[in-house]
Structures are given as structure tokens and as C-alpha cells.
Structure 1
Amino acid sequence: MPTLAVAHLRNVTLGPAIIEYLQRIDATLAPFGGRFLVHGARPERVEGTWTGDLVIVRFPDRESARAWYASPAYQAILPLRTGNAEGEVIFVDTVSDDHRATDILANIQG
């Protein structure tokens, strides 16, 4: 099942470090099958509060996402982002095309 790397970034300082990060990140994704699904688009808020930017990268599976994040190539550029932006990054698995909301009930211990 594909895995998404989701980043919610705030207070990004768009200076030389972030520019270098952007110039180098694609090369770190390619060996792990990662590709941007959302990057740079401003979300339309329909409920609650939201600040910052959303970035979503799709990987073939959780192991590929973990391997990318831990790779020497990504770890080398990671401080360029973390030193110039606040935020959270998570990995989350997608669901199958035939998933229905009630499928989650099978996972509830009751």
C-alpha cells in the first residue's frame, strides 16, 4: 500500500538555505520512488484553523518512505529545512481503492 509523507510547515524563511533544500530534494526522492502530490499550493480552509503550507509526497510503501528519510542524501539536506521552518512530518499509509468508512470498525477492539 502506498505511504504518504505529510508535512505541515509554518514560518518558512525563504532564503538561501530553503532554496538549496528545494534544489536538492528531488534527487533524494527518486531512488525511493517518492514523488510530490502536493507542494506549494495553498489549501482552502473549510473548517477549523490552518496556517502554513502542506506538502505531500507519495512513496510506494512505508519502508521506502522510512529509507528515504533515513538516507544520507536526505539527512544531509534536512537541517536546511528544519533550521528555517517549523512544522511536523508524518508517514501515513493510504487505503485501498475499495475502502469504505465502515472498514475501520473491524480494527476497533470492543
Structure 2
Amino acid sequence: MTAYAIAHLHRPTLNEDVLRYIEEIQATMDPFGGRFLVHGKEVEVLEGPFPGTVVVIGFPDIERARAWYASDAYRAILPLRTDHIPGTAFLVEGVPADYDATARAGALREAAGL
């Protein structure tokens, strides 16, 4: 199941450390099959406040996403970003191609006794 590393970067600003991070991150993702799906694009906010921008990286599965984030190579460059750009980062597993939101709602309804 595809997994995603997502970061909401609140006030991204460029400096030498951040540029070095951007230059080096791809090499840390390659061994784990990671690729950028969203990077450096303006966010079109439709509901609620959303300062900053978002980054989405896709991985073949959650295990490889976790291994990338925990890797020595990524941990070595991570402070180049986190020391300069506040934000939130998380991993999330995707849904299968045949995912059915209606069936999910039914299961939730049943589990909640509604």
C-alpha cells in the first residue's frame, strides 16, 4: 500500500541550509523508492487557515517511508530544514484502489451503533 510523508511548512524561507537540504534530500529518498508528488507549489486554500506550503512524498509502502525518515542519511540533513522552518511532518498510509467511502461509513456507523 502506498504511503506518504507529508509536511506542512508554516513559514518557509530560503537560506543556505534550506537550499542544501533541498539539494540533498532526493539522494536520501532514492534507496527507499521515495519521490516528490508535491513540492514547491502554491497552496490553494479552500477552507480554514493554512499558512505556508505543503510537501508530499510518495513511498511504495509505510515500512519504506518509516525507514527513510529514520535513516542516517535523512537524519543528517533534517536539521537543515527544522532549524529554519517551523512545521508539522507525518507519515500516512494510503487507501487501496478499490476503496469505498460508503462502505467505510457503514462500518463506522455500525461500530458506533448509529
TM-score normalised by the chain length of structure 2: 0.91
- Calculate percent identity across the aligned residue pairs: 48
* C-alpha displacement of 1:99: 1.1
Question: Is the deviation greater in 4-13 or in 81-90?
Answer: 4-13
Aligned counterpart, 1:14: 14
Structure 1 gap ranges (5+): none
Structure 2 gap ranges (5+): none
Aligned counterpart, 2:54: 54
Is 1:27 matched with 2:50?
no
Distance 1:8 1:15 in 2: 18
Aligned counterpart, 1:72: 72
TM-score normalised by the chain length of structure 1: 0.94
Aligned counterpart, 1:86: 86
Q: Which 4+ runs in 1 deviate beyond 6 A?
A: none
Aligned length: 110
The root-mean-square deviation of aligned C-alpha atoms, in Å, is: 1.2
* C-alpha displacement of 1:12: 2.0
Aligned counterpart, 1:98: 98
Letter in 2 for 1:14: L
Residue by residue, what CA displacement relative to the aligned partner does 1:57-106 show, whole Å, maximum 9, x if unpaired? 00011100000000000000000010010000111111111212123232
